[in-house]
Amino acid sequence: MMSKTMRSGAASPLKKTLLQRTFATSGGDIPTAVDGVRINRYSANVTQPKARGASQAMLYATGMTEEDMDKPQVGIASMWWEGNPCNMHLLDLAGEVKKGVNAAGMVGLRFNTIGVSDGISMGTDGMSYSLQSRDLIADSIETVMGGQWYDANICIPGCDKNMPGCVIAMARVNRPSLMVYGGTIRAGCSSKGETIDYVSASQAYGEFITNKITEEERHDVIRHACPGAGACGGMYTANTMATAIETLGLSLPFSSSSPANSTEKQDECQRAGEAIKLLLEKNIKPLDILSREAFENAITVTMALGGSTNAVLHLIAIARAADIPLTIDDFEKISERVPFLADVKPSGQYVMEDIHRVGGTPAVLKYLMNKGFINGDCLTVTGKTLAENISGVPDLSDNHEIIHSVERPLKSSGHLRILRGDLAPDGSVAKITGKEGLTFTGTAKVYDCEEDMLAALERKEITKGSVVIIRYEGPKGGPGMPEMRTYSYSAALWGGCLSCFVAAPLTSIVLVLLDAFFYTVGPTSAIMGAGLGKDVAMLTDGRFSGGSHGFIIGHITPEAQVG
């Protein structure tokens, strides 16, 4: 593992001496910012010294010119691959970003990294690779940025784990960086004219096996749920993390809400060049932006918009990379004071495209700041504060039910709750939207993997009043802590504690929810589609998809594999 010094982007004393000698003897005209700071301070190590002739020969072979050798080099990291709608357009967006970088007087150099489609791998062994992909993305971006001596980085992610992987790398490398989100997908439309999306396709299975829809209707939903490029359209993990990262200050305004195929997204790609040049000139780096207050803002927005439980996992990982103290208890504290306002999927009616239509993420931030929930003093990649970024943004549109007012929230507190108790002495994460009631009592049905639970559902063993427990799905047991999409309900909350009462011989689990409960996708979607959404609860040591809602509690620790 690289040292803290290397990850911070600071050179060791030996390397400082080397760079000083390099600049003194290169004879090149190195570009400087207005304050005298070199804006190609890293790439000059290979483009300027006469002793680096072999390195320069390699760069000439790529098409760089004599003039280019004196320009800053910007690494453009795309998570493009063809087999996923969230990512299939990112190569095109990277091309637009490169044009903007070159037009701003720099050299844009594209490179690629990997990804996993959670939507495609869900419910299969492929899900064991999902969370690991986040760290592979972070490692690969760090590797290219460090090995190639690029001066700055623009990341272009699409699917769920892409975003935190990018930002973890930004924090490690700590060179001027920003993220251009690939954008949300447009809503689908069934032949009946119903607005549908990816989760609709997932739930169609449960509806079909319980004879609520025909095979033709099921196929129609699947065929039209995802109309083109972009990440899953609700407040699922991708849109949750994009919104959180824009709030952190690492994306340009509107990045998280503008659809993938919109003119706004194309414009953002073009503007990224001038934005990264400004960061180079002012020497603003990710660790200048990633403050404790910025993370509190990101958690606040996640609570207000009903974001994914995965935000807990990812924001803590990003904070660790940035050396910012952040724990699950911080999520609980913020959840207690921030109301849940967004009537968006998975628990609501609308999608991210609708939020963009009424003002987008900046308008939501402006509203929350005016209500005292957001700290506007945090620095962002525009070189301005969050408050300065949103000062000229129109207020949220009136006459809609997409974002509720603080005075008339969907729920007076946040939807993500941190629970501890007999079943989770080290904590767990519940997603409580406030729509599902106060208590649940049922008979425990324990499965040692998600596949066994789905088979039981097909055999109609899971009925009203069941408490589904899926264990051995944690980081070690899964392995890889896969997401449960089957369906789930949540468990035992009494005064903030999770409790399980087993009444032998009935093995009946009593679940008491102080605030409410909710549902999930995969196992959760199958259960939802089967019409058991309000009648079944689910607990797991695995994760839940961002498309989950209902009576669900995940991330239970310690996981079953370790006792």
Residue 24 makes CB contacts below 8 A (sequence gap 6+) with: none
Element (H, E) at 320: helix 310-321
Which position among 43, 140, 545, 548 bears the catalytic label? 545
How far CA 498 is from CA of 336, 429, 441, in Å, comes to: 17, 10, 14
Q: Which residues lie across from 420 on neighbouring strands?
A: 497
- Residue 357 burial (C-beta neighbours within 10 Å; 0-12, 13-18, 19+): middle
Cα torsion through 211, 213, 215, 221, rounded to 10: -140
Which pair of structure tokens corresponds to residue 146? 């460090």
Active site annotation includes 545:
yes
| CA 407 to the chain's CA centroid | 28
Q: Apex CA 68: angle with CA 39 and CA 18, to 5°?
A: 50
What is the rounded distance in angstroms from the CA atom of residue 44 to the CA atom of residue 291?
30
Distance CA 499, CA 563 (A): 17
C-alpha distances out from residue 319 to 169, 170, 294, Å: 12, 12, 10
**Spatial separation of the C-alpha atoms in residues 247 and 512, rounded to whole Å:** 34
Strand duo 73-78 + 107-112: pairing: parallel
Q: Which of 354, 338, 434 is nearest to 396 (CA)?
A: 354
Q: Which two tokens stand for residue 95?
A: 């091309």
What does the alpha-carbon distance between residue 344 and residue 10 come to, in Å, rounded to a whole number?
43
Q: How far is CA 394 from CA 365, 378, 391, 397, 398, in A?
A: 11, 20, 8, 8, 11
Give catalytic residue positions. 545
